[in-house]
Structure 1
Amino acid sequence: MAYFVTGATGFIGRHLVAELVDHRQGPVFVLVRASSLPRMEAFVRQWGSTRVQPVVGDLAEPGLGVDPAWVEEHAGKIDHFFHLAAIYDMTADDATNEAMNVGGTRHALALAESLQAGCFHQVSSVAAAGDYHGRFDESMFDEGQPLPSPYHRTKYESEKIVRYEATVPWRVYRPAIVVGDSGTGTMDKVDGPYYFFPVIKRLRDLFPARLPLLGVDLGDTNVVPVDYVAKAMDHLAHLPGRDGEAFHLVNPEPQPVVDMINAFCAAAGAPRFATPVDRSITTAGGLIPRALRPSTLVNAMVRSAPAQLMLDQTVGRLGIPAEVLSHTSFPSVFDSRVTERALAGSGISVPPLETYARALWSYWEENLDDSVARDPKARAALKGKLVVITGASSGIGKVTALKVAQAGGIPVLVARGKEKLEDTKATIEMRGGQAHVFACDLSDLEAIDSLCERMVEELPSVDFVVNNAGRSIRRSLKLSQDRFHDFERTMQLNYFGAIRLVMGLMPQLHRQRSGHIVNISSIGVQTNPPRFSAYVASKAALDSWSNVVSSEVVGHGITFTNVHMPLVRTPMIAPTRIYDKFPTISPAQAADVVIRAMVDKPHEINTALGTAGALAHTIAPRAAFRVLNLAYQVFPDSAAAKGQKPTSEAAAAAVEAPASSHRETEQMLLAQLFRGVHW
């Protein structure tokens, strides 16, 4: 088979091409503008197949501007023509929507007809249903529905062109609101529910997660992950005898807007919204007419011109376009029974949002949150500055690098795994930034010496150093009697490796008469939790060294910040299964703290609990040790600490299962009471 795909560099298009490469045979021709060839070449490398072949053209040109000689050569040889190139943006203006969605579809259909394509696959949208009230099934199209925006109108018009003008067989796909990949969370832009994420982040930072907030029933919405959409399209396109049909790529069960927002609030650790008046009361038996229901009234109000103007000047300043608020919910209920039957037996279905909301949130927080880029103070401090970041291949280090680049800084990525560092560098460069890669084993002191020599020789300056690479070991002393190397390994990386790096760069910092070092220390240095004697001692050593050296070098403009970081959800804590239920901060939250350390340059950054712990050890050490001993009794050693290696997650959970529900209650009580402490 042979395929032609427009919009292959777009979000859905990239995933569809990946599906075709992985599961189908034959060439995949992808339309690309000449100016976008370098970007397309990067995607071709990601797809890892020589079967993907760029075809130069332009959506705005008749016949997509494809060379007539190419069309003549491939006429009759294209089995499936997928048209995905379009504007999927509620905020786009009328002219842009018209040119891309309507004109683009007409040009794509003309090319498909010239190629005598076996089937033209039009990717439409549930927006074609407009403001139709009630159940809208796959057989419905022209039902006299109101089309409230240019986006709705052009989605309807482009689908109409295919339905009434195509001379080749066709199929139509109507996705609901498409969000990121349900496994990785990958998303390429802020759209749909993502507009609300900055507000959710602000709520998380201002209020405790257990604080209930007042909500209102805003009706139903419908979101689906992009991997479901791509897999479903690939499967449906290859079913025999389905030409001339439309398929709803939607969640079969409408999702209340409040429930959707609460799923993301839970993923973020933000307070959730409660609706005191349930819709079952307002809709029961039709007691309240549709026009007077809360969701109808709210939607009508936000769509009015005065409300749109007011919203632009209020929530618009928070990054939520008024147009998005006015189309948050759907008056239609999208019937997908035809699609569900067609997918039966394929294993392709829509996962519940709750199962992948955290993946979506984490990806946004780490990759799409532009709060650092919009912070003038951060940009002033970091723009053009070279920032050495150790442990930059994952976790806190990687996200810090992305945020430094977002602010205009130049991350210098250091870790053992060069391949992962190169991937991070490629991500930064695709977003218009710069980065340098220096692979190094930071537990090898001689390798660190060579690293420092290379950086001084190859970099014009070293403005910041972030000592982030670290090793954590959670093991009680009684299990450490024959494992003295645990203490040697943690000191080697967390202490000796960190100070060797700083000492190797210190002559350069003195020549510059400037430089700031950020040490990622631990809340454990202040609270001294049991089972962390090796880890806490190594971090305390780095703290003490930095405090002493600070007084020696401050006269040359060289300063230090010790960040006593609470428990962070990173791969480093994954072996300890009980942490799965603990309140933790995300790598992105930790990276925001690191950015603050570079921008404000305080001597220390502490949490309130960490400060309280240090104070308790000063004024009431005996009582503090009693509390810590209680925690020692409540929290067991992990399977990894005991030297056990379960073969599955289920086995790991069984090995570390608490002795009783009472013990588990005690664990969670202490974890909630001492949020962020490593137990």
Structure 2
Amino acid sequence: MSYFVTGATGFIGRFLVSELLDHREGEIYVLVRQGSLARMERLVQRWGSDRVIPVVGDLGAQSLGVDPEWLAGHRGSIDHFFHLAAIYDMTADDATNDAMNVDGTRHAIGLAEALEAGCFHQVSSVAAAGEYDGVFDETMFDQGQHLPSPYHRTKFESERIVREECGVPWRVYRPAIVVGDSETGTMDKVDGPYYFFPVLKRLRDSLPSWLPLVGLDLGDTNVVPVDYVAKAMDHLAHAPGRDGEAFHLVNPEPQSVVEMINAFCAAAGAPQFATPIDRRVTSAPFGLVPRGLRPGGLVAKAIASAPAQLALGQTVGRAGIPPEVLAHTGFVPRFDSQRTEQALAGSGIAVPVLESYARILWNYWEENLDQATARDAAARKALEGRYVVITGASSGIGQVTALKVSQAGGIPVLVARGKDKLEDLRLTIEMRGGQAHVFPCDLSDLAAIDTLCERLTAELPSIDYLVNNAGRSIRRSLKLSQDRFHDFERTMQLNYFGAIRLMLGLMPRMREQRRTHIVNISSIGVQTSPPRFSAYVASKAALDAWSNVVSSEVVGDGVTFTTVHMPLVATPMIAPTKLYDKFPTISPAQAADVVLKAMIERPHELNTLLGNAGAVAHTVAPKAAFRVLNMAYHVFPDSAAARGPETGTGKRESEQVLLAKLFKGIHW
């Protein structure tokens, strides 16, 4: 069985190709512009399959501009032709929408007919339903609905072309608003609800999460993760006897806009919105009034008006929310998907609840799509063209720091044990237009560090920054450590000796350059001395002391230090301690922002208020501080690795959460 896919470099297209590779046999031919061949080759490298074969063409040309000889040689061999190349952007203009969505569809049909394809699969959108007032099911198409934007109009028109002009069997798929992968969060651009994320980030950073905000009832929306869309399309495309049908790839239970936003507020740790006046209040008195004259309809019309759009452009537009998107936040129709659900029955493919993966989407955006660093003039001035050596770069804080350094124009130098993960990160950075270097190294092996230093000195034109981020954490009480001296040895080996060996090896080059800044990722535990972390905190305290002493010796050589006493971060390092799942933590992206601040401003230390308070408490009232810590020692259990499954339930668990919230950021 063979496939032809347009839009394979696009978001849904990449996931569909992955599904076909995982579950189907045969070649997958993918349309690609001549200028995008390099990008496609990197994608093929990531897919790791020789079954994906690029075919050079152009969406704007007849028969997609495919070479006639290739066409003649493959006539009758393509079983499924998937047309995904299109504009999925509410802000695009008329000409772009027409060229991509309407003309592109007609050209794709022409190629599918010339190839005598078995079935033409058109990826449309629920936007084809426009502002139909009522339930819009999968048998409906042209109901005289109002099409309020070029995007809605061209989605309707392209589906009409398939229905009326396609000379081969066809199937149509109408996704709702497509968001990132529900398991990984992967997303390729800011779209749909992602436009609101920078505002939510500002709210999180400015206001306490418990503060309720007043919101408006903006109607219902409908979002689905891309992995559901790709899996459903693959299954539906191969279901027998479904030609000539349309399928709604939507959430059967629509979400209100406010509920969707609040799900992401909860994921971000931002305050949530309450709607004092919503449909529960207005539905009764306005039930017989036409929808356009109801409060929600009047608000929608007001937002869509030219004066309002102009005003919104100068207000929310400056926050990154396009006025066009705000005017179409909610859906007028309600989408029936019984046909799709029946066809997917027994496959295990279903739409997950948004709340179950909202945090995954938020974390991916914050780590990969948030462009705040790229727009930061100070960050670009400090990092552009600079080589930044980052240890522990394969995950967590190190990985996100590398992505943000690249955003600011810096060149991350990736150091960690896992070469495959580093290469994957390098490929991600390069696909986004950046540059990175990979230097695999086991930083607990001192001889390997010496070799690394030789390579870095010889192969890099400069070493402008060094971020000592790699580390090991052990959470175990003293009474369970009596016969585990190796815990202290291996923690010290990586967190202290490894970091020092690296700095010593690079110091001659740093002194020669006279402009290197070193950032050591320490811990709030050094200031607060939490129980059960004697091995970890001691290793970090040793590194702090070493850096403080050496700072005075090299200050005249242009080598400077910043120690970051980092609070609890939701990284893979703390994942084995399951009770942390309920604790307030900062995200790797928030931690990476602190690391960038250390590189840009170069202070001697970066601390939290709680960390400073802990240090002061240990100085002015040490006995009281130790009593509080002893109370926490008895409230929290040892880790599962230390004593078996944790038993923090009931009252004891509530005490744990209370202490964690009261002393936010401390490792318990």
Q: TM-score, normalised by structure 2?
A: 0.98
Is the 8 Å Cα contact of residues 2 and 77 (structure 1) preserved in structure 2?
yes
Number of the residue aligned with 1:656: 646
- Which string of whole-angstrom CA distances, capped at 9 and with x for unpartnered residues, describes residues 544-564 of structure 1? 111111111112222111101
More displaced stretch, 92-101 vs 270-279? 270-279
**What CA deviation, in whole Å up to 9, does each residue of 1:230-282 have, x standing for no partner?**
11111111111111111100001111000101111111111111112242221
Q: Which residue of 2 aligns with 1:352?
A: 353
Kindly provide the amino acid, as one letter, of the partner of residue 167 in structure 1. Answer: G
3-state SS of the aligned residue for 1:284?
helix
Question: How far apart, in 2, do the equivalents of 1:630 and 1:513 lie?
Answer: 48
Gaps of 5+ in 2: none
Q: 1:670 aligns with which of 636, 659, 662?
A: 659
What amino acid is aligned across from residue 6 of structure 2 in structure 1? T
Paired residue for 1:264? Answer: 264
The Cα of 1:23 is off from its aligned counterpart by 1.0
Q: 2:283 matched to which residue of 1? A: 283
Which whole-Å CA distance do the structure 1 matches of 2:390 and 2:296 have between them? Answer: 49
1:34 maps to which residue?
34
1-side partners of 2:48 and 2:510: how far apart?
43
- In structure 1, C-alpha distance between the alignment counterparts of 2:294 and 2:552, rounded to whole Å: 67
Aligned counterpart, 1:138: 138
> Aligned equivalents of 1:299 and 1:554: distance in 2?
61
Alpha-carbon distance between aligned partners in 2 of 1:284 and 1:525, rounded to the nearest angstrom: 60
Q: Is the contact between residue 217 and residue 294 of structure 1 (CA under 8 Å) also seen in structure 2?
A: no
List per-residue Cα deviations over 1:499-526 (Å, max 9, x = no partner). 1111111111111111111010000011
Q: Secondary structure at the match of 1:529?
A: coil
Give distance in 2, aligned partners of 1:353 and 1:177: 12
- Give yes or no for the alignment of 1:171 onto 2:171: yes
Q: CA RMSD in A?
A: 1.1
Q: Summarize deviations over 1:313-348 as a string: whole Å, max 9, x none.
A: 111111111111111110010111111111111111
Residue pair 1:64, 1:107 contacting (<8 A) in 2 also: yes
Do 1:561 and 1:603's aligned partners in 2 also have CA atoms closer than 8 Å?
yes
Once residues 212 and 326 of structure 2 are traced to their aligned partners in structure 1, the CA distance between those partners, rounded to angstroms, is 22
Match of 1:640, SS? helix
Contact 1:635 1:667 in 2 (8 A): yes
CA distance in 1: counterparts of 2:501 and 2:73, whole angstroms: 63
Offset of 1:592 from its aligned partner? 0.5
Task: Describe the SS at the equivalent of 1:308.
Answer: helix
Structure 2 equivalent of residue 383 of structure 1: 384
Q: Distance in 1 between matches of 2:171 and 2:129?
A: 17
**Once the 2 structures are TM-superposed, how far is the Cα of residue 52 of structure 1 from its aligned partner?**
1.6
1:413 aligns with 2:403: no
| Structure 1 position 447, deviation (Å) | 1.6
Question: Do residues 205 (structure 1) and 195 (structure 2) align?
Answer: no
Alpha carbons 1:137, 1:336 under 8 Å: kept: yes
The SS at the match of 2:224 is strand
Match of 1:641, SS? helix
Shift of 1:292: 4.3
Deviation at 1:221, TM superposition (A): 0.4
Correspondence 1:570 to 2:571 = yes
Is 1:255 the counterpart of 2:255? The answer is: yes
* Matched residue, 1:53: 53
Q: What is the CA deviation profile of residues 400-437 of structure 1, one whole-angstrom value per residue up to 9, with x for unaligned ones?
A: 00100110001111111111111111111111111111
Matches of 2:374 and 2:635, distance apart in 1: 44
One-letter code of the match for 2:409? Answer: G
In terms of mean alpha carbon deviation, does 266-275 or 38-47 score higher? 38-47
Aligned length: 667
Mapped contact 1:469–1:493 kept (Cα < 8 A) = yes
Alignment of 1:237-248 (within 5 A): 237-248=237-248
Identify the residue that residue 393 of structure 1 maps to in structure 2: 394
Report the residue type matching 1:351 in the other structure.
Answer: P
% identity of equivalent residues: 77
Which amino acid in 1 is paired with 2:418? G
**Aligned-pair distance for 1:302?**
1.2
Mean CA deviation greater in 69-78 or 556-565: 69-78
The answer as to whether partners of 1:282 and 1:288 remain within 8 angstroms in 2 is no
Aligned to 2:24: 24
Q: What secondary structure sits across from 2:46 in the alignment?
A: helix
Q: Does 1:440 align with 2:441?
A: yes
Aligned to 1:649: none
Q: Is the 8 A contact 2:286 2:294 kept in 1?
A: no
The letter of the residue matching 1:541 is A
Q: Distance in 1 between matches of 2:413 and 2:441?
A: 12
Task: Determine the C-alpha separation between the residues in 2 that align with 1:448 and 1:476.
Answer: 31
Matches within 5 A, 1:487-498: 487-498=488-499
Which residue matches 2:600? 599
SS in 2 for 1:520: strand
**Aligned amino acid, residue 122 of structure 2:** Q
Opposite residue 579 of structure 1, the aligned amino acid is Y
Matches within 5 A, 1:77-226: 77-226=77-226
Flag the 1:288–1:552 CA change in 2: closer, same or farther, 3 A.
farther
Residue 527 of structure 1 contacts residue 610 of structure 1 at CA under 8 Å; is this kept in 2?
yes
Q: Distance in 2 between matches of 1:278 and 1:662?
A: 38
CA apart distance, 1:287? 4.5
- Is 260-269 or 38-47 further displaced after alignment? 38-47
CA contact (8 A) 2:42 2:427 kept: no
Report the secondary structure of 1:388's partner residue.
strand
Amino acid at match of 1:657: T
Task: State how far apart, in whole Å, the 1-side matches of 2:341 and 2:658 are.
Answer: 44
Measured in 2, the distance between the counterparts of 1:122 and 1:441 equals 49
Aligned to 1:586: 587
How does 1:489-638 map onto structure 2 within 5 Å? 489-638=490-639
Distance 1:203 1:388 in 2: 33
Look up the SS of the partner of 1:571 in the other structure: coil
Q: Deviation digits for residues 479-502 of structure 1, max 9, x if unmatched?
A: 111111111111111111111111
Distance in 2, matches of 1:541 and 1:298, equals: 61
Indicate how the Cα distance of structure 1 residues 288 and 664 shifts in structure 2: closer, same or farther if over 3 A, else same: farther
How far off its partner does 1:45 sit?
2.2
Matched position secondary structure for 2:562? strand
What is the match of residue 228 of structure 2? 228
Worse-superposed segment, 514-523 or 46-55? 46-55
Contact 2:6 2:31 in 1 (8 A): yes
SS in 2 for 1:145: coil
Comparing 84-93 with 26-35, greater Cα deviation is found at 26-35
Task: Give, in whole Å, the separation in 1 of the partners of 2:172 and 2:520.
Answer: 55
Aligned match of 1:460 = 461
Match of 1:647 in 2: none
What amino acid is the match of 2:343? A
1:657 to partner: Cα distance: 2.4
Q: 1:218·1:294 contact (CA, 8 Å) conserved in 2?
A: no
Which amino acid letter does the alignment assign opposite residue 663 of structure 1?
A: R
> How much has 1:536 moved relative to structure 2?
0.6
State the Cα deviation string for residues 646-670 of structure 1 (Å, max 9, x = none).
Answer: xxxxxxxxx2122x51111111110
**In structure 2, how many angstroms separate the alpha carbons of the residues matched to 1:515 and 1:616?**
34
2:565 alignment partner, SS class? strand
Q: Which amino acid aligns with 1:133?
A: D
Once residues 565 and 151 of structure 1 are traced to their aligned partners in structure 2, the CA distance between those partners, rounded to angstroms, is 46
Deviation per CA, 1:108-155: give whole Å up to 9, x if none.
011111111111111100011111111111111111111111111110
SS in 2 for 1:121: strand
Report the 3-state secondary structure (helix = DSSP H, G, I; strand = E; otherwise coil) of the residue aligned with 2:388.
Answer: strand
Deviation at 1:97, TM superposition (A): 0.5
Equivalents in 1 of 2:70, 2:504: separation in Å?
A: 62
Secondary structure of the corresponding residue to residue 247 of structure 2 = strand
Residue 561 of structure 1 aligns to a residue whose secondary structure is strand
SS of match in other structure, 1:181:
coil
AA at the equivalent of 1:498: A
Residue 14 of structure 2 is matched in structure 1 by 14
